[in-house]
Amino acid sequence: MTIKPRILVTRRHLFEIEKRLLDEYDVVLNEDDHIMTSDEIISASDGIQAIFLCVTEPLSKEVINALPKSVTVILTLSAGVDHIDLKSARERGLAVLATPGAVTSATAEVGVLLMLGAARRAQESISCLRSGNWGLWTATQFVGVEITGKQLGIYGMGRIGQKLAKRARGFDMDIYYHNRNRLSPDLEEKAVYLRNIEDLLGVSNFLALCAPSTPHTHKFLNSDTIRCLPDGAVIINIARGNLVDDDALITALKSGKIAAAGLDVFNGEPTNIDQRYFELPNVFMLPHIGSASREARIAMGMMLLDGYEAIRNGGVAQNRVA
């Protein structure tokens, strides 16, 4: 009888993912879906070969070093891996698998939603309607701006940035971007590469943050970069909350320097978001739903399990990040 690998699954998942897990592995499942503490994860990992986790379970150096020696693979249901100390994972000999590519279309769609919601004052409109305070229609009520024909600057032209650019072209937007490296002409699809970040900011009626969270991108959007944007620019963030200096963005939103923001990610999410955002009518907010489509979540889970099987069979997991 073949002994199934034992996997700790820290959160509940869609039916298709859990079915495959239960069919193919010996699963220790967090039945009530509470966010497991580091101590709980360490304790539950005794005799475990792989941990299937989410961004809600950060793995610090201390946690990684405290994991039982039986654990050899970490599977994270996320494209970003800033919640895992990759250096410590490598030193420990842990393989870390993520889901690059699986979230691309879903996240780009949310980027378009944020652009439209922020530009067309959706937050104010929805709040007014739901509160019963709509009153009479007027010709000046909730007047926003169109995204059609505007200039979109993309900071970080990876998979998601490229997909967002493709979607934005459907609105006849002109695309500009800044990236560590210029893309090949076939990937640019006539987007304009701007080496200097000040040049990108200067042309961006809409600025989309699509870069990964790194020490270099931390607080990229700050008082200095905001100053370079056109008056009345619109900001969207589908990357990570720590790309934004909250004090600087909130100040600019209050002054009108930034007309509106569409945010799917935040510093301190989910429980310690800067409360001033909730008081601003010109902020269109979503609770980090970039990858929250059935298609994306199923693809993410399957990508992780396919990668794990590749490693178990002596092959190479294409989605391995450490």
Active site residue 269: yes
Residues 305 and 258 in one domain: no
Each residue's pLDDT expressed in tens, for the chain with a length of 322 residues:
679 999 999 999 999 999 999 999 999 999 999 999 999 999 999 999 999 999 999 999 999 999 999 999 999 999 999 999 999 999 999 999 999 999 999 999 999 999 999 999 999 999 999 999 998 899 999 999 999 999 999 999 999 999 999 999 999 999 999 999 999 999 999 999 999 999 999 999 999 999 999 999 999 999 999 999 999 999 999 999 999 999 999 999 999 999 999 999 999 999 999 999 999 999 999 999 999 999 999 999 999 999 999 999 999 999 999 9
Please check whether residues 156 and 176 belong to one and the same domain.
yes
Q: Of 259, 270, 268, 233, nearest to 123 (Cα)?
A: 259
List 159, 288, 312, 320, catalytic entry: 288
Q: Judge contact between 285 and 171, C-beta under 8 A.
A: no
Q: Which residue range forms the structural domain that includes residue 31?
A: 6-102+294-312
Residue 321 lies in a domain: no
Same domain, 67 and 109: no
Asked if residue 319 is part of any domain, the answer here is no
In a domain, 1, yes or no: no
**Quick one: 50 and 183 in the same domain?**
no
If asked whether residues 115 and 97 sit together in one domain, one would say no
At 59, which CATH number?
A: 3.40.50.720
Is 18 among the catalytic positions?
Answer: no
Q: Sign (positive/negative) of CA torsion 110, 116, 119, 123?
A: negative
Asked if 93 and 124 sit in the same domain, the reply is: no
**199 and 90, same structural domain?**
no
DSSP-derived secondary structure letter, 317:
-
Per-residue pLDDT, 168: 98
320 in any annotated domain: no
Q: Is 288 exposed, middle or buried (0-12, 13-18, 19+ CB in 10 A)?
A: middle
* pTM of this structure: 0.94
Indicate if 178 and 261 belong to the same structural domain: yes
User: Is 240 in the active site?
Assistant: yes
Same-domain status, 274 and 184: yes
Note whether 133 and 252 are same-domain residues: yes
The domain tally of the chain equals 2
Same domain, 190 and 252: yes
* Catalytic-labelled residue, pool 11, 90, 269, 312: 269
- Residue from 13, 178, 240, 297 carrying the catalytic annotation: 240
Q: Same structural domain for residues 82 and 119?
A: no
Question: Element (H or E) spanning 263, and its range?
Answer: strand 258-263
Radius of gyration of the chain (CA): 21
pLDDT of residue 1: 64
